[in-house]
Amino acid sequence: MIRAVIGETADVRETGLPLPLRKTPHKPPALPLKAKEATQYQIKSYLSPLHLTLLTLKNVFSLFKSSPHIRSTAYFSPGDDCLNAILAFIGAATSSLKICVFTISDDRITQAILAAHRKGISVQVLTDNEKLFDKGSDIRQLAKAGLQVKVDHTANHMHHKFALADQRHVLTGSYNWTRSAALYNHENVLVSSEPQVVADYSREFQRLWQEMSFFKDVAGQTPRT
């Protein structure tokens, strides 16, 4: 979130990324709260969707290379911030991806996962059987492409939404990996490289991986509408 315009840059305190803006003749005085909020809205309205997307991608990639003092970054929807964070997270992985989500139906995310698989990155997917054969579900596509996919067939839901990259970074939050989450829902994503948090999520993934069974497509099964 952009806080204030100072000189030729906007100070982005959450990310530390300076954004070039039009030059101001002098440093403005402190603004009242409502004036600050109006300024934030006006500044963000000047940034193109492509500019905002590039900022999100740069922010996630910088987290992967960050110092020990920079651990976590949060993103929110509606809008593309959460989606772009997920795409950047997947794209930044170099050795492994462990994905644990209720469902995947956003083909943009699916294509990023498949691209990682084609690069030789080890990809494991855990998901729930509730949405497995819904129209738009991409789980079967991932399994057919050769990814390791396991499914929860219990009476309860596997309702997690998190992923691990290279056993060093975790992405988590309320955001379902669907288009409606980006377009309509109020959701959040958190990307963290905090070692203890990553270790906790890694243990949970391994526990579920041991409990669940590999996906087996059902001959003649048609997607539900």
Each residue of 12-25: pLDDT tens digit?
344 443 444 444 44
pLDDT at 57: 59
Are 177 and 195 contained in the same domain?
A: yes
pLDDT at 33: 47
Residue 195 falls inside a structural domain: yes
Residue 143 falls inside a structural domain: yes
Could you give the CA distance from residue 90 to residue 113 in angstroms, rounded to a whole number?
7
Are 39 and 61 contained in the same domain?
A: no
Could you give the CA distance from residue 104 to residue 163 in angstroms, rounded to a whole number?
12
Q: How many residues does the chain have?
A: 225
Who has greater pLDDT, 1 or 44? 44
pLDDT at 62: 59
Could you give the CA distance from residue 122 to residue 145 in angstroms, rounded to a whole number?
13
Query: Residues 115-135: what's their mean pLDDT?
Result: 94
pLDDT at 134: 85
Are 135 and 193 contained in the same domain?
A: yes
Predicted confidence band of residue 63 (pLDDT cuts 50, 70, 90): low
pLDDT at 225 over 80: no
Are 34 and 75 contained in the same domain?
A: no
pLDDT at 192: 97
Are 41 and 106 contained in the same domain?
A: no
Are 152 and 196 contained in the same domain?
A: yes
Q: How far is CA 217 from CA 17, 129, 141, 146, 224, in A?
A: 46, 11, 10, 13, 14
Average pLDDT of every residue of the chain: 79
Are 174 and 139 contained in the same domain?
A: yes
Who has greater pLDDT, 83 or 3? 83
Are 122 and 158 contained in the same domain?
A: yes
pLDDT at 129: 92
Least confident of 5-19, 47-61, 114-128: 5-19
Are 35 and 94 contained in the same domain?
A: no
Predicted confidence band of residue 56 (pLDDT cuts 50, 70, 90): low
Query: What radius of gyration, in Å, describes the C-alpha atoms of the chain?
Result: 20
> What digits encode the pLDDT tens for the residues 180-221?
999 999 999 999 999 999 999 999 999 999 999 999 875 445
Are 31 and 76 contained in the same domain?
A: no
pLDDT at 141 over 70: yes
pLDDT at 98: 99
pLDDT at 52: 54
Residue 222 falls inside a structural domain: no
Range of the domain at 150: 51-214
Query: Residues 21-39: what's their mean pLDDT?
Result: 45
Residues noted as catalytic: 159, 161, 166
Are 40 and 65 contained in the same domain?
A: no
Say if strands 148-152 and 122-128 run parallel, antiparallel, or are unpaired: parallel
Least confident of 9-13, 28-32, 173-177: 9-13
